[in-house]
Structure 1
């Protein structure tokens, strides 16, 4: 199953690459026709290398212009707004990554991907907050449990260092 999805992803990548190259080639072809028309209008034809370079540059400029226009259409603006809905989620995840598990997201969209993602982030933050509290309680308990024997050992060590301790008592403290 994993191999099939990987193969599908590779296929999509190859198709996207071919589409990008095809688009760029089409823009260079359009540039070729535009420069050819301009050369006939002004009555001058540059050397072949210069003409090819001009065609390539004009083709790239046309491609960049088309991409820019497509990115600023209403659909692209809508996509930008949709991505803006993820900003609070990203900020919440950054706070969680820094150890602030008290983060809670408002779920204004209970249905859909964003709502489900917000619920999941809230659930993760709640679980991590509970785990952190349990960890702190465990450390506190372990610290208390270790402190009592350490205090006793410290007392025995002081007693054994005391020069005035009779040898019989010293033997009683040492096994």
Structure 2
């Protein structure tokens, strides 16, 4: 995104196999505002977070700071949460079932075109060839199954004073 509002905003992505949980989500951690209304509480305020849960429990949640009732200038984190299964009494259709129905209805929206597949192979073939070469741990950090990824992923965020969202 190339505009003044997003200038200097980092984007981090963590992906892997055999992690502790199978989850796909996009979490947006909002920057601090330039002027805090509650200066005394600034050290204890958390960033506002908007989480878009893609799977397994589709929905949206928002965590933000609110002033506690009364005369004190204290804030507290609160959550707003929307889940499809809770709102509609059932979970969304399984992704494969949806693809089969779309196929029967000739809806190609979620399917990849031939030229897209060819472009993907052109892009990914050098990566696959590099992957088959002898592994250099400095190039591709490894991690144990059942963990949240290599320690280098923690270092990546820590150097910017950030941390991964707990899932």
Give the TM-score of the pair, scaled to structure 2. 0.22
Question: More strand by proportion, 1 or 2?
Answer: 2
Structure number with larger C-alpha Rg: 1
Which structure shows the higher helix fraction?
A: 1
Name the TM-score, length of structure 1 as normaliser: 0.21
